[in-house]
Amino acid sequence: MVGLSVKTASKLSGVSPHTLRAWERRYQAVEPSRTKTGRRVYSIRDTERLSLLRYLVRKGHSIGNIARLEDAQLKSLIGKSDATTEATDRAANLIFDPTQAAERLIHTLATKDITLASSTLGEARKNLNPRTFILEIISPFLIELEARVDRGSINKAEKIGFTSVAREHLGLLYFGLCEKRSAPISSLSIAIATITQGSELTAFCAGIIAESMHIKTHYLGTAVSAWDLADTLRNLNASPLIIQDDLNGSSHFHSAQENYVSQLLPELDNNQIVWIISLKSMLISDRRLRKISNWDDCITQLHKELSDASGLSLSRTESLAIVA
């Protein structure tokens, strides 16, 4: 196995080189191998352990008290910390009523008040936990927006305006979560790309849900070709794979999605599972394909993948890719 330098281990774990050396020297948090010349080299398992320690320290634990705990014990502590966070989120939801916020947001479509829609989204983003913001605010809003466009009560220019403010707040939330990202509780990660420009909102939603579950994500951008995605997944050691369709009810991307999957499958390894998040059935038949039909199903699958990955040896790297 090729060892990782201090610099690389620091980058992967989020622990600065100075702190890494201090934890190693004072607390024996990790025990790196050494080359024949005496240079310290770290394993992927070491970096993942450092990530767990960093996460817990940021939650208020003393490094001296946790540095020598087993990985399973560190994960147990993380679970308790997350339970406290979820309780705080629930309390926040009680103070700020998401149902009333969703109703106010839908009303802005009737009055065509894009400025009020933006301020309502901003309040919801700041006062609700990320998952509630997606499931109870953004998703109903985008579904209703598409319905009104189909009925002709919202024109193209108005749709662009409402979509732009939704994109702004989704982007602020997603990249904010990435910036504040603590140590993931497993080696599971998600690569996010879009087939076309119009799917960016859905990709952000998926990324926010994943990040809120402490799953590391990589946003690859818009209109990523199947071949470029396959190459990227190989570089990320990516398996399994999720293909994302529009979950807001539109069938606009369905044909493009099938063509994309047809191009992508031959580029993937035979053992890579492909999750299709789609409202419609796929005409493509392949043993690697798995269908997911809505956000709740997506969350359930991520929970399962996270649970499975967390129960595995941390030396195993597993990655998902969401393509909208």
In angstroms, the CA 311 to CA 76 distance is 12
Look up residue 13 and give its two tokens.
Answer: 């774990």
Look up residue 161 and give its two tokens.
Answer: 């305006």
Domain final residue, candidates 178, 200, 228? 178
What does the pLDDT read at residue 198?
65
CATH code, domain with 171: 1.10.1240
Instruction: Classify residue 64 as exposed, middle or buried by CB count within 10 Å of its CB (0-12, 13-18, 19+).
Output: exposed
Domain final residue, candidates 159, 178, 197? 178
Reported confidence tier of residue 248, pLDDT bands at 50, 70, 90: very low
Same domain, yes or no, for 21 and 109? no
In angstroms, the CA 20 to CA 13 distance is 9
Same domain, yes or no, for 107 and 170? yes
What does the pLDDT read at residue 106?
93
Q: How far is CA 138 from the centre of its chain?
A: 16
Which stretches does DSSP call E strand in the chain?
33-34, 40-41, 188-193, 216-221, 241-244, 274-277, 289-292, 318-323
Q: Which domain holds residue 308?
A: 183-323
Same domain, yes or no, for 159 and 230? no
Same domain, yes or no, for 233 and 279? yes
What does the pLDDT read at residue 249?
43
**Selected residue with higher pLDDT from 77 and 108:** 108
Count Cα atoms within 13 angstroms, Cβ side, for 154: 24
What does the pLDDT read at residue 214?
77
What does the pLDDT read at residue 54?
84
Look up residue 56 and give its two tokens.
Answer: 């817990």
What does the pLDDT read at residue 29?
92
Closest CA to 310 of 302, 298, 300: 302
In angstroms, the CA 260 to CA 321 distance is 14
Q: What percent of the chain has pLDDT over 90?
A: 21
Q: What is the total count of domains within the chain?
A: 3
In angstroms, the CA 71 to CA 49 distance is 7
The H-assigned helical ranges of 135-286 are 139-151, 156-179, 200-212, 226-235, 254-264
Same domain, yes or no, for 169 and 222? no
pLDDT digits (tens, 9 = 90+) for 114-166: 999 999 999 999 888 888 899 889 988 988 998 999 999 999 999 999 999 99
Residues 244/206, Cβ–Cβ less than 8 Å: yes
Same domain, yes or no, for 154 and 118? yes
In angstroms, the CA 86 to CA 77 distance is 14
